[in-house]
């Protein structure tokens, strides 16, 4: 049993600022009544056979009741000092007869209308040692509390504290869940933005059109295309890229984003498309373990520059199907001898192929989703696509893309993968 001075002024705990901080952390003050705490005070009152049981939180200038059984008061001033005294020690603070106890005889709760005689309060101690308040039982008649019963009161206070910890943990888990969800959504949005088919630019003297058809029922596809004009050292160069990353899912999506961004940045200074593909290969091999092949990327890249005769195009390919050239006169060729796919091996030799396009000529870059399609005659293949387009003889970039769309939409044709394509027309 604690000894004390007969005074209304109860000293504040040494760690008061931190203690108040802990109360804020548990965010319990001025919250609505809660069944769990009301059940504990009801059980405490019944067990100790007292009229009043309270879960109190000792705030800076008041004592707020989270639960009050047998008394219709929500809070009292901190000064009378019963609960404020109880939080100064680790064991239950007990006054068996307040009318004669020098610590409390002048207390207004004792001398006043309530006529409090018996008070026993066990501190609510957080896991890190702060005493937030008490579970206290009160009677208007003096009584004794054996040590065993004081221990029971301390156990009940621990149950109150468990409830508070549980609520704090739940609140933190929800906050963490919200934070993670927000983070994931932000990441998904930025990945999606970088994977979505871009708008093709408007370039004078050229018409550009594109096609992107994700495979039905698949995740974000591995096919991508990009078309952009370069400033700086390569001023006036139009860069066309079509690629295919093996596999699906977030890792493949990250490889796709890496490929596209590397193409964009490397194209600023490279003198030929093969140089850009070398950089992409290095970027993809960076940090990879020797025997690990998670994803690789096939990529077809074209640099196009206007000249007096039309358009000068150089093409390099990393394991990608060649580009198709459809001439105004109806002839057709493939261009872009292939090197190995990017992201497989460090020795990576590539060649740049050149082709001169005249007004009325078309250039098509595509992924194998357009040729790995089942037709009544078997797999279409790149030869099949070439013949089909030669027969159809599209005159414009839009007409060429329309042909491809018609192919994929045909009920006789079964596509098995994503398909992407970029079509370019040299305007007459």
Partner 1 sequence: MQQGFHVDRIATDDEIRLALRGELDVSVVDAVEEAVGAVASGSRVVMDVRDLSFIDSSGIRVLMSLDMRARSEGWSVAIEQPQPAVRQVLELCRIGERIPIVDDASSDG
Give residues in contact with partner 1 (CB under 8 A): 244, 246-248, 290-293, 295-296, 298, 319-321, 338-341, 344-345, 368, 372, 379, 381-382, 414, 416-417
Coil, helix or strand at residue 310: strand
Nearer to partner 1, 163 or 417 (CB): 417
CA atoms within 13 A on the CB side of 265: 8
**Shortest Cβ 292–partner 1 spacing (Å):** 7
**Shortest Cβ 200–partner 1 spacing (Å):** 24
The angle that helices 147-195 and 35-48 make with each other, rounded to 10 degrees, is: 170
Nearer to partner 1, 32 or 378 (CB): 378
Assess contact for 40 and 160: CB atoms under 8 A: yes
Reference 73, options 98, 97, 108, 100; nearest CA is 108
Report the relative pairing of strands 338-339 and 310-318 from DSSP bridges.
parallel
Nearer to partner 1, 381 or 399 (CB): 381
**Shortest Cβ 223–partner 1 spacing (Å):** 10
Q: Supply 412's token pair.
A: 């006789």
Nearer to partner 1, 162 or 219 (CB): 219
Residues with Cβ within 8 Å of residue 292, at least 6 apart in sequence:
none
**Shortest Cβ 298–partner 1 spacing (Å):** 7
Nearer to partner 1, 156 or 252 (CB): 252
**Shortest Cβ 372–partner 1 spacing (Å):** 6
Dihedrals phi, psi of 73, to nearest 5 degrees? -130, 135
Which DSSP string do the residues of 66-88 spell out, in sequence order? EEEES---SEEESTT-HHHHHTT
Nearer to partner 1, 55 or 380 (CB): 380
Give the C-alpha separation, 321 to 334, whole Å.
9
Give the C-alpha separation, 22 to 130, whole Å.
7
Could you tell me how far CA 177 lies from the centroid of its own chain?
Answer: 10
Nearer to partner 1, 97 or 246 (CB): 246
Give me the residue label for tokens 């961004």. Answer: 261
**Shortest Cβ 358–partner 1 spacing (Å):** 28
**Shortest Cβ 363–partner 1 spacing (Å):** 19
């Amino acid at each position: 049993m604690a000894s004390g001075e007969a005074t209304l002024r109860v000293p504040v705990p040494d760690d008061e600022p931190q203690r108040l901080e802990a109360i804020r952390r548990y965010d319990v003050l001025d919250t609505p009544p809660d069944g769990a705490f009301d059940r504990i005070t009801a059980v405490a009152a019944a067990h100790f056979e007292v009229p009043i049981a309270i879960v109190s939180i000792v705030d800076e200038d008041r004592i707020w009741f989270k639960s009050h059984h047998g008394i219709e008061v929500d809070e009292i001033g901190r000064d009378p000092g019963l609960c404020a005294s109880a939080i100064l020690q680790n064991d239950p603070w007990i006054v068996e007869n307040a009318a004669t106890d020098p610590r409390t005889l002048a207390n207004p709760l004792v001398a006043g209308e309530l006529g409090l005689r018996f008070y026993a309060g066990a501190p609510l101690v957080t896991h890190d040692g702060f005493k937030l308040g008490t579970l206290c039982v009160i009677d208007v008649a003096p009584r004794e509390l054996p040590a065993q019963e004081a221990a029971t009161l301390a156990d009940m206070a621990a149950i109150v504290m468990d409830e508070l910890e549980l609520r704090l943990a739940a609140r933190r888990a929800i906050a963490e869940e919200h934070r993670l969800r927000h983070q994931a959504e932000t990441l998904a949005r930025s990945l999606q933005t970088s994977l979505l088919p871009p708008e093709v630019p408007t370039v004078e003297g050229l018409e550009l059109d594109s096609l992107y058809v994700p495979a039905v029922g698949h995740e974000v596809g591995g096919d991508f295309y990009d078309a952009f004009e370069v400033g700086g050292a390569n001023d006036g160069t139009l860069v066309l890229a079509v690629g295919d990353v093996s596999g699906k899912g977030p890792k493949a999506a990250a490889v796709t984003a890496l490929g596209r961004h590397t193409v964009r940045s490397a194209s600023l200074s490279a003198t030929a498309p093969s140089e850009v593909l070398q950089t992409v290969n290095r970027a993809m091999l960076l940090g990879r373990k020797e025997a690990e092949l998670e994803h690789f990327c096939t990529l077809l890249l074209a640099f196009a520059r206007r000249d007096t005769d039309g358009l000068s195009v150089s093409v390099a390919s990393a394991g990608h199907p060649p580009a198709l050239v459809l001439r105004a006169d109806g002839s057709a060729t493939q261009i872009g001898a292939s090197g190995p796919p990017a992201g497989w091996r460090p020795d990576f030799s590539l060649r740049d192929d050149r082709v001169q396009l005249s007004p009325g000529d078309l250039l098509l870059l595509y992924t194998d989703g357009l040729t790995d399609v089942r037709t009544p005659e078997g797999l279409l293949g790149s030869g099949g696509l070439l013949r089909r387009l030669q027969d159809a003889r599209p005159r414009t970039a839009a007409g060429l893309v329309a042909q491809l769309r018609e192919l994929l939409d045909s009920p006789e044709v079964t596509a098995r993968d994503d398909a992407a394509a970029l079509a370019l027309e040299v305007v007459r």
